[in-house]
Amino acid sequence: MFFWNSNDLKTSNMFVIINTVAQLGYISTQLEPLDWNSTPNWLTHVVAKTFAGIGVLDLLHNTAAGYFKGVPPSSLVQVATGVGFAAAAGVSDWIFGGCLVYDLVALACGQQGGWSRLLGGYAAATAGIVAFKNYFYPKWKEQKEGAYERLGEDGSSV
């Protein structure tokens, strides 16, 4: 925060990268499966995934402001943004996926012209991917229909 407040965005970006990677690492590897019967569990999911989603927005914004101020995004950046958000949406539940959509809407509001419209289109596409994925194969269904089977006392499948 000290570097950000003193307008040293390049130094603050190192801390933003560490924070975002840590948040994404936690929600993808350490967070227990979502359990709607446990209020602490689902609240932890909402908080952790929201922090990770805001971390993604912070990473994109801070990197752009620190290193590329006034530079329009190249075609590579535009394509990579769409592919990256689509890929992330494809593996996200509705909580983190909603944060990704929010990130794109926020980025679109801060831009002008064609890039703003493209980000808005990416937001709509990301929302569609998250909705489609979570409607047809929600994470809770995957957890209930996993590869493990319940065994009876004699060792046979139940």
pLDDT tens, residue by residue, 14-41: 999 999 999 999 999 988 888 878 888 8
pLDDT for res 141: 56
Q: Is the dihedral of CA 71, 76, 77, 82 positive or negative?
A: positive
Q: Which residues contact 122 (CB under 8 A, 6 or more apart)?
A: 81, 82, 85, 86, 104, 108
For residues 24 and 50, the answer to whether their CB atoms sit within 8 Å is: no
Tokens of 39: 């209020």
Would you say residue 85 has pLDDT above 90?
Answer: yes
pLDDT for res 6: 75
- Of 130, 147, 127, the closest CA to residue 138 belongs to 130
Residue with tokens 């908080």: 47
pLDDT for res 36: 79
Helix axes 75-90, 94-109, angle to 10 degrees: 160
Q: Which residues contact 106 (CB under 8 A, 6 or more apart)?
A: 57
pLDDT for res 42: 87
pLDDT for res 121: 96
Distance CA 146, CA 124 (A): 31
pLDDT for res 107: 92
Task: Give mean pLDDT, residues 83-108.
Answer: 93
Mean pLDDT of the chain: 86
Would you say residue 150 has pLDDT above 80?
Answer: no
- Of 42, 34, 27, 48, the closest CA to residue 143 belongs to 34
Question: Which residue type occupies 133?
Answer: K
